[in-house]
């Protein structure tokens, strides 16, 4: 299981320090949550942050766009240094086009589904994605409780990988802790985002290690 600490819960004034700590602890991805105040109530940060972070780490920059009509912005985020760009199927009339734009710009393309969205809604694009993000809370805020019903969708996606020969990573995001990560791994998840569990702790590096150990 790859670990993707989310900077949403990091210390923005000392962001470089927080990023260096999880990088040194062996986190493979850095998860960057972009919120537009429309698709989700909160406003977070934009491509300027990705551009500023890019030179200070070699971690995979995993950008989660919680933005209406994300196809307007995907190329800007790739140019800023995103390695993976995730777009919500609920946020656009043109999910196929949004994913195509990401791939054409040279990044990995990820489709994201909310807890209330079935796997069926993304079946037509599964052949073209590098990663599927199954939201395990409703998007918009850190520190929410994991929704166990979402595990069924992880299992369903894992089965589709086997029956259809797809080769995408399955990422989970929301309420990931040392106990919930085990259930996600057992269901077939391969990447786990963790925000508050890592950065609200006194020792974020130890939390990254605990998450890694939990799925060994
Ligand atoms: C929620 C974001 C998450 C958030 C997770 O909308 O997509 O990435 O940072 O936070 P925790 O791990 O605290 O649930
Ligand atoms: Zn996220």
What CATH number has the domain bearing residue 33? Answer: 3.20.20.70
pLDDT, position 215? 93
Residue 129 binned pLDDT confidence (cut-offs 50, 70, 90) = very high
Question: For residue 13, with 0-12 CB atoms within 10 Å meaning exposed, 13-18 middle and 19 or more buried, which class applies?
Answer: exposed
Ligand 1 atom nearest the C-alpha of 40 is: 6
What does the pLDDT read at residue 173? 98
Q: Does the Cβ of 71 fall within 6 Å of ligand 1?
A: no
Domain of 32, in residue numbers = 2-214
Residue 216: the pLDDT is 85
The sign of the torsion formed by the CA atoms of 65, 70, 76, 78 equals: positive
pLDDT tens, residue by residue, 112-122: 999 999 999 99
pTM (predicted TM-score): 0.98
ipTM of the complex: 0.99
pLDDT grade for 152, boundaries at 50, 70 and 90: very high
33, 36, 62, 130: which is the annotated catalytic residue?
A: 33
**Range 203-212 average pLDDT:** 98
Question: Is the CB of residue 150 below 6 angstroms from any atom belonging to ligand 1?
Answer: no
**Residue of 134, 171, 174 to mutate, ligand 1, most atoms within 8 A of C-beta:** 174
The predicted pLDDT at position 25 comes to 98
Q: Look up 36 and say whether it is catalytic.
A: no
Q: What is the mean pLDDT of residues 171-198?
A: 98
8-66 confidence digits (pLDDT tens): 999 999 999 999 999 999 999 999 999 999 999 999 999 999 999 999 999 999 999 99
- Domains of the chain: total: 1
């Amino acid at each position: 299981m790859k670990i993707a600490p989310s900077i949403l819960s990091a210390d923005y004034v000392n962001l470089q320090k927080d990023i260096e700590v999880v990088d040194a602890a062996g986190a493979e991805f850095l998860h960057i949550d972009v919120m537009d105040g429309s698709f989700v109530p909160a406003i977070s940060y934009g491509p300027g942050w990705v551009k500023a972070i890019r030179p200070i780490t070699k971690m995979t920059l995993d950008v989660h766009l919680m933005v209406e009509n994300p196809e307007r912005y995907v190329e800007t985020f790739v140019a800023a240094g995103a390695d993976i760009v995730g777009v919500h199927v609920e946020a656009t009339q043109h999910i196929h086009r949004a994913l195509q734009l990401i791939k054409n710009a040279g990044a990995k393309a990820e489709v994201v589904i909310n807890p209330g969205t079935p796997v069926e809604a993304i079946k037509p694009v599964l052949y073209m994605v590098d990663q599927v993000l199954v939201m395990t809370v409703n998007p918009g805020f850190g520190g929410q409780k994991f929704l166990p019903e979402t595990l069924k969708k992880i299992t369903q996606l894992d089965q589709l990988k086997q029956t259809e020969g797809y080769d995408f990573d399955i990422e989970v995001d929301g309420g990931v802790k040392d106990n919930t990560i085990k259930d996600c791994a057992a269901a077939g998840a391969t990447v786990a985002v963790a925000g508050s569990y890592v950065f609200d702790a006194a020792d974020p590096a130890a939390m990254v290690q605990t998450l890694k150990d939990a799925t060994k």
